[in-house]
Structure 1
């Protein structure tokens, strides 16, 4: 499962790089962005090719950004994590697909402060299709969660006069179709906590300054991943300690 994640991560890198530029993720085949030489199979083995070539293009010697390997490793680790938690079955397909979308949305939003509609449309479609196949959440729960989650962020955006972007609103609305009402509300709760902590860390580590815009999408994505994996356990734990 780790290797499957590394391979998928390589494809996600293509999506992260090309989609904001309105380029096809299929054509042209993988190539060096500096010398335009087509990359062969031996150049595309996740992580290993990067290490073997010492992080450089085989043909022109241009340095390859280490971010590509980071995305591959993150995807591989998360896929293995999902498998350990969920096990084999239809639920694993749902979780892996969900995680892949979250990775693409996170890195594009971090790089460009954009959550692309064309990604969200496929996210919507995949969520509805997979949940209808699995049988839960119900259609009514999905619609309620989508309207409630998106609506809450819309209210926040109006009150704060743009403190929340339109992409974030649509992202949470799409998450509602995947998660149902309870887990969507938990996602919002976690994302605000994670966002507060994460924003503080970015400032402390000087990765961002107070004048920089800090995208909220990655924090929503992390909250959504935790909710998908452990949401009902967290809800049961909360009500248990609240008694």
Structure 2
């Protein structure tokens, strides 16, 4: 039976994919210093403007078989992947929180994390244009998320930024060169604003484990000469850790405490 809940879930997913389509613009243009508003979406190969009927999230990619509708240049699989991830994020938050302010807040937070992650993967940078306003914007978590308090916001920012800053200082003192970018520090401060101290420690612990596994997986096909040159961005793993905390953090923490 097609219930109201199912209808809202479908709308949530579609809405998420539409936001994902916009995130693709942010991911593509922001690192290049281009406007995310104009010009309208266009093919990077032939510069032909993309009409709305060729710009439907996920669907257009499938109908066009991954090629531009005008010059037939291949379209990166990245575009539907980002749209799908954002759609699933919106759907998951609806099932987790329902139509609440917390779901809305975490969706905006998650969308920023998605943009940051893919930019970091492509360029090994985390734009200040996303992280610094993000710290301020997500400091309003105490207004949208019932369990968050203002003191949690402040302590989360200070803890998130402070921990990685100290790690970066220690690494520089030992190795005499920078090992962690300032972008990661600002990102964890932003995550702290949205999730508090508990979220910071969960994100850092989980992100470190996932980052280690991801680094090992990335280095396995590489030769010995390439391993020292490999650069594994930490931003996507921190972002994934934060998303995991939003959905399953508290049960995992409780399970771990009981295990001890």
Is the shorter-chain TM-score for this pair beyond 0.5, marking a shared fold?
yes
Does the C-alpha gap of structure 1 residues 70 and 134 become closer, same or farther in structure 2, counting only changes over 3 Å? closer
Does the C-alpha gap of structure 1 residues 97 and 155 become closer, same or farther in structure 2, counting only changes over 3 Å? same
| Alignment gaps of 5+ in structure 1 | none
Q: How does 1:85-104 map to 2 (within 5 A)?
A: 85-104=96-115
* SS at structure 2 position matched to 1:160: helix
216-225 or 199-208, larger mean C-alpha shift: 199-208
User: Residue 59 of structure 2 is aligned with which of 44, 48, 57?
Assistant: 48
Q: Is the 8 A contact 2:68 2:74 kept in 1?
A: yes
Partner Cα distance (1:116, 1:136) in 2: 29
Q: Is the 8 A contact 2:219 2:230 kept in 1?
A: no
* SS at structure 2 position matched to 1:137: coil
How many Å apart are 1:133 and its aligned residue? Answer: 4.3
**Deviation digits for residues 94-135 of structure 1 (CA, Å, limit 9, x no counterpart):** 121111011000000010000000011231232123433445
The residue that corresponds to 2:4 in the other structure is: none
| Alignment gaps of 5+ in structure 2 | 1-11, 173-177
Does the C-alpha gap of structure 1 residues 134 and 220 become closer, same or farther in structure 2, counting only changes over 3 Å? closer
Partner Cα distance (1:205, 1:131) in 2: 45
How many Å apart are 1:13 and its aligned residue? Answer: 0.3
User: Residue 221 of structure 1 is aligned with which of 239, 250, 253?
Assistant: 239
Are 2:189 and 1:178 aligned?
Answer: no
**Deviation digits for residues 56-89 of structure 1 (CA, Å, limit 9, x no counterpart):** 1112221111111111112122222222222221
User: Residue 34 of structure 2 is aligned with which of 16, 20, 23?
Assistant: 23
Partner Cα distance (2:183, 2:130) in 1: 11
* SS at structure 2 position matched to 1:213: coil
The number of residue pairs the alignment matches comes to 242
The residue that corresponds to 2:6 in the other structure is: none
Partner Cα distance (1:26, 1:178) in 2: 27
How many Å apart are 1:206 and its aligned residue? Answer: 5.0
The residue that corresponds to 2:127 in the other structure is: 116
Partner Cα distance (1:61, 1:193) in 2: 41
User: Residue 169 of structure 1 is aligned with which of 159, 176, 185?
Assistant: 185
User: Residue 15 of structure 2 is aligned with which of 4, 7, 32?
Assistant: 4
Partner Cα distance (1:71, 1:133) in 2: 26
The residue that corresponds to 2:24 in the other structure is: 13
Q: CA RMSD in A?
A: 1.8
**Deviation digits for residues 192-242 of structure 1 (CA, Å, limit 9, x no counterpart):** 111111111222355984421111111111111111222222222122222
